[in-house]
Amino acid sequence: MSRLSVRLLSVGTFFAGAALLLAQPALNGVWVLKVPRGDGTFRKTFYELKQDGQAVTLSTMMPARPPAPPPAAAGRAGAPPAGAPQAGRGGGRGGPGGPIVATFASGKLRFEMAGRGRGGQNTQPPPPTVYEGSLAGAKFELTISGGPAPNPRYASPTSAILERSTREAFDIPRLPLPALHNVKSNGLAKTPPMGWNSWNLFAGRVDDKLVREMADAMITSGMKKAGYIYVNIDDTWEGESRDAKGNMTTNTKFPNMKALSDYVHSKGLKIGIYSSPGPTTCQHWGIDYLKYDWCGASRVYGDEDMHAAYQKMGDALLKSGRPIVYSLCQYGRAKVWEWGPLVGGNLWRTTGDIGDRWNSMLNLGFGPSVPGGIRQPDQPAPPSLTQLDIAKDSNVGHWNDPDMLEVGNGGMTTDEYKTHFSMWSMLRSPLLAGNDIRSMSQETKDILLKIARPLKDKSTPVALFNRGDQPAKISVIWDALGLGGKKLTGRDLWRHEAVTLSGDRYSVEVPTHGVVLLKVSAK
C-alpha cells in the first residue's frame, strides 16, 4: 500500500469517527430512571441531562418548593428509590454533593452511584453500583451491577430503564386544601392500638401470602389473646395507576385486597393499610386502620399545610361509613399533638423512623427527638422536645406514637428490647410489633406477651431504666411518686415475682441498658 493510500485511509477514519460522534443523539432534557420493584411497579427518579460531547451530567430534579424532608424516611414514597443513583460528585460516581457525570460513547451510557452503608453501621462504604447500557429508541436499557450487599427488605434489581420524560410528568399537581374545621371524633382506639406492621422487618417484601401467614401466627402465638388485633400492611402494596373510576389499585403482590381483608377478618382480627395525602379510597376493601404518611406529600406541600391535608382525610374516613382507626405519620412535625385530635386522628407519630439499634431506640424514647414546631424562614429551628414533654397530650382515643416496635428483629440485646417495650408501655404508646411473629424465639414471646400496663386495679407502674454502659444500682423514693408513708406491695413484671417494699425507697441493681419494671400497690 502506498504512503498516499495510508494517508487517505487515516483521513477517512478520522471523518468516520467524527460522523459517529455527530450521529449520536443529543441527550439534553428530562429523563426518568425506572427501577423495577419486582411487583409490576417501578421506583422512579427524574434527572435533567446535559451533554457535552461524551460527558453527560445527570442532575436529580427537585420540587420547585422543596420543604424539609422527613427524618430517616429514605426508601419510602417521595424519596429517591433504592437502587437508583443519587446526586453526587463528578468523576462518574453519584453521591452526596453534586450531579453524576456519565460517559456516552458509541450509543452506550455508563455511570456509577457511590455506595452507602445502611443505617450508619458500616465504617467502610460498599463498592459503587454501576449502571450501563445501550440506547434503544428513546430509552436506555441498563444493567445494574456491583453495589452494596442486597438488602433483604427489598427486591434486588439487576436492570433498569432510563427514558425520556417531561417536566410536566415530574411536577405533581398541588390539590386544593380545605378551610380548617374540627373533625368529629370517630370514638375508636380507646386504648393504644396493638398489632403487627410489615415495615420494620419486611418493607418491600410484604405480599398477600406473608400477611395471611402473619394473621395465622397472631392466633397460634397467643398475640391475639394478649390484645394484638391489627394486621397492618405498610408501604409497597400500591399499583402504578388508578382504575377508570379513580380508585387506587394494588400491585401484583396483592392480587385481591378484598379477599385478603376477608381472610384477616375471618380470624377475628382487623386489617390496616398505608397511604399518603391525596385522593384515595379504603372502605370497599374492608380496611379497619389507615396509616397516612406525609413523606409523599412533602414534594407539593409544606409543614404549614399538614393540618388541612390530614383534616381532608379525616373527613373522608368519617364519610366512608366504616370505623377506621386514623394513624397520622408525619414525624412529630408542626406540633401534631396540638391538632391531631382536631382532624380525627387516633394516633400520631412524634419522631422520625426507628431503627433496630440501641442508640436509635434510646434517642426516640428518651432523648430530645420530638420536633419543637415549624421552623420559620431565617430563624433557628425550635428546640426539640422529649416524649415526656408531650405525654400530657396523649389521652383516650388520641395517642402519641414514637414509632413501631423492633422487638425480636435481632439488632438489640434482650435487656435492650425489654427497655424498648417497657418505655413504650410507660408512655402509653401504640404497640405494633414489627418482627417475624411466625418464628419468634421464646425470649421475644416473653417480652411481647407476658406484660401488660397495670392500671385497671389502680396500681402504679414504676420503671427503673439504666441507660448506662455498666450495671447500676438505681433507687426510687416513694414520696416522689406520692406513695410515701403507705404500706406498699410490689411485683417485678419481668421476673414475674413479688418484691418486698419497705422504708422510704426501693433500690435495685439494673443491668446494662436494662430495666426493672414494678407494679406497686398501696393499701
> Whole-model pTM?
0.87
What is residue 340's DSSP assignment? T
Contact 107, 135 (CB under 8 A): yes
Report d(CA 146, CA 92) in Å as an integer. 15
Supply φ then ψ for residue 17, to 5 degrees. Answer: -65, -40
What is residue 395's DSSP assignment? B
Q: What is the pLDDT of residue 173?
A: 85
Q: If we measure between CA atoms, which residue out of 113, 151, 149 comes closest to residue 132?
A: 113
SS3 474: strand
Q: Cα 369 vs. chain centroid, distance in angstroms?
A: 16
Contact 312, 279 (CB under 8 A): no
Supply φ then ψ for residue 446, to 5 degrees. Answer: -60, -35
The tally of CA atoms less than 13 A away on the side-chain side of residue 502 is 1
Instruction: Take residue 320 and report the three cell numbers written for it.
Output: 366512608
Q: Which helix (H) or strand (E) holds 465?
A: strand 460-465
Q: What is the pLDDT of residue 117?
A: 57
Residues with a catalytic annotation lie at 293, 353
Report d(CA 444, CA 425) in Å as an integer. 16
Q: If we measure between CA atoms, which residue out of 45, 81, 82, 42 comes closest to residue 62?
A: 45
Burial 490-513 (b: 16+ CB within 10 A, else e): bbebbeeeebebeeeebeeebbeb
Q: What is the pLDDT of residue 118?
A: 55
Q: What is the pLDDT of residue 124?
A: 75
Q: Which helix (H) or strand (E) holds 329?
A: strand 325-329
Contact 276, 293 (CB under 8 A): yes
Report d(CA 203, CA 199) in Å as an integer. 4
Q: If we measure between CA atoms, which residue out of 351, 235, 375, 245 comes closest to residue 302?
A: 375
Torsion, Cα 373 378 379 380, to 10 degrees, reads 90
Q: What is the pLDDT along the chain (523 residues), one digit of tens a residue?
A: 454 443 433 444 444 444 444 456 789 999 999 999 999 999 999 999 999 999 999 999 987 654 444 443 333 333 333 333 333 322 333 444 478 999 999 999 999 988 765 554 556 788 999 999 999 988 999 999 999 888 888 889 999 999 999 999 998 888 899 999 999 999 999 999 999 999 999 999 999 999 999 999 999 999 999 999 999 999 999 998 888 888 889 999 999 999 999 999 999 999 999 998 843 344 589 999 999 999 888 888 999 999 999 999 999 999 999 999 999 999 999 999 999 999 999 999 999 999 999 999 999 999 999 999 998 888 999 999 999 999 999 999 999 999 999 999 999 999 999 999 999 999 999 999 999 999 999 999 999 997 754 457 789 999 999 999 999 999 999 999 999 999 999 999 999 999 999 999 999 999 999 999 999 999 8
Q: What is the pLDDT of residue 263?
A: 98
Q: What is the pLDDT of residue 150?
A: 87
Q: What is the pLDDT of residue 278?
A: 46
